[in-house]
Amino acid sequence: MSSTDSDFAALCERLARAWAASWSTKDASSLTTLYTREGIWTDHSFRVTRKGTSALTNHYNLWIHANPDFHVPEILNIWPTPQGCVMKYIGKGTMTGDLAGRFPPNGKAFEFLGYCDFVVDREQGLIERLDEVYCRNYWDSRFDEYRYEVKI
């Protein structure tokens, strides 16, 4: 690995760790400043994509409103990729607030294993795209299951 590659890997790891730490701040700007102006975040578990600072801020605030104690207590691993890195982490919280009018508060504590695939803009040193996936089995069973549509 060249020094340029190792510098990029170190940058990506710092961004991933800052992304995880942002959940403890309860301040959306601690997350949005890690993204490019037109940064994209796709939450595959909830099947939503957000693009741009305003949409990312809204997404963060909706989640924190529903789960005010949400945090990432542990990063299990960070693997460098040619375009950024992949982070494996544990997320924890308690759903005490309404989530965007779709999920009423249930007071349920949860913990999940999550993965984020970070694509980092080398010029700006910021997250260009993030794809996140995690297990949703902590939600009440009365909610619809994730439906896959396969096209070949």
Domain of 15, CATH number, reads 3.10.450.50
Burial of 15 (0-12, 13-18, 19+ CB in 10 A): buried
44 located within any domain: yes
26 located within any domain: yes
**Residue 98, pLDDT score:** 92
Give the pLDDT band of residue 145 (cuts 50, 70, 90): very low
117 located within any domain: yes
51 located within any domain: yes
| Total Cβ atoms within 10 A of residue 84 | 26
Average pLDDT of the chain? 89
Q: Is pLDDT above 80 for 68?
A: yes
140 located within any domain: no
Domain hosting 110: range is 3-134
151 located within any domain: no
Contact between 138 and 108 (Cβ < 8 Å): yes
Quote the number of domains for the chain.
Answer: 1
Q: What is the pTM of this model?
A: 0.86
Contact between 72 and 91 (Cβ < 8 Å): yes
Residue with tokens 């957000």: 50
What is the Cβ-side half-sphere exposure of residue 34, based on CA atoms within 13 angstroms?
28
Helices and strands, counts by H and E, the chain: 3, 6
122 located within any domain: yes
Average pLDDT over residues 63-81: 97
**Residue 1, pLDDT score:** 52
**Residue 54, pLDDT score:** 96
Average pLDDT over residues 59-85: 97
